[in-house]
Chains A and B, each alone.
Chain A
């Protein structure tokens, strides 16, 4: 299975820029997607296919990367962005998720 590796946690101050990384154990083309999950809630799609913003997601969120290295950027970070962020790949079978990065605000 394709393993997606994320840093476990990050802490930033409101107004700053933060980048969350996701590294794949094998190539996944551009088929990486990003989700935000708050405690007790289902994940919410933020970015699909590496860099595409779904309707309704603020432009503060952006994504980049291809192959094996991907990044979710939030700029500027707001207090409401406190959450866990997951990447997911849908290029290789089975579809897999990263372990999540918990974003905390200072």
Chain B
């Protein structure tokens, strides 16, 4: 079955960067976009962007341009999201997810990123 296993929680300092991962299994990693979604406490969900691991193509929500870099490693079926110049506004849970018929049928368990000095 499809599984998306994300890395563990991160506590990071303001101004630093963090890279979180999403290891995929149970399907052909290079055939489906990997999307990333942000959820702040008490807030809704925001689409960050996607990467197509087959060729590395990416698309970002304009709001996250310059904040986020998406990459993928085909050899390990792992997608990555790097967040840079972190501020308290970046404290959130970040999910990876695979689209199915334009909806998200499969989600990772989420990674909580806390930005604090």
Contact B45 A88 (CB under 8 A): yes
Q: Is the CB of A90 within 8 A of B103?
A: yes
Give the distance to chain B from A46, nearest Cβ to Cβ, in Å. 10
A35–B44 CA distance with the chains assembled, in angstroms? 12
In the complex the two chains form, what is the Cα distance from A29 to B70 in whole Å? 29
User: Chain A: how many interface residues by the 8 Å CB criterion?
Assistant: 22
Choose one: A31, A86, A94, A98; the contact of B102 (CB below 8 Å).
A31
Residue of B nearest to A54 (CB): B105
- For chain B, which range describes its interface: under 10, 10 to 19, 20 to 34, or 35 or more residues? 20 to 34
Q: Can you name the residue of chain B whose Cβ is closest to the Cβ of A35?
A: B104
Q: Is the CB of B102 within 8 A of A49?
A: yes
**Residue contact B62 to A94, C-beta cutoff 8 Å:** yes
Contact of A48 among B46, B61, B103 (CB under 8 A): B103
CA–CA, A35 and B107, complex, Å: 11
Query: Does chain B have a CB within 8 A of A23?
Result: no
Q: Which residues of A contact B99 (CB under 8 A)?
A: 90
Name B45's closest neighbour in chain A (CB-CB): A97
Residues of B within 8 A of A90 (CB): 99, 102-103
B53 at the interface (CB under 8 A from A): no
The reply to whether B107 and A100 form a contact with Cβ atoms under 8 Å apart is no
Give the Cβ gap from A97 to chain B, nearest Cβ, in Å: 4
What is the minimal beta-carbon distance from B100 to any residue of chain A, in angstroms?
7
Tell me whether A43 and B47 are in contact (CB under 8 A).
no
* B interface residues, Cβ below 8 angstroms from A: 43-47, 61-63, 95, 97, 99-105, 107-110
Known: A48-B102, A94-B61. 5 other contacts (CB 8 A): A33-B103, A43-B104, A49-B102, A94-B47, A97-B46
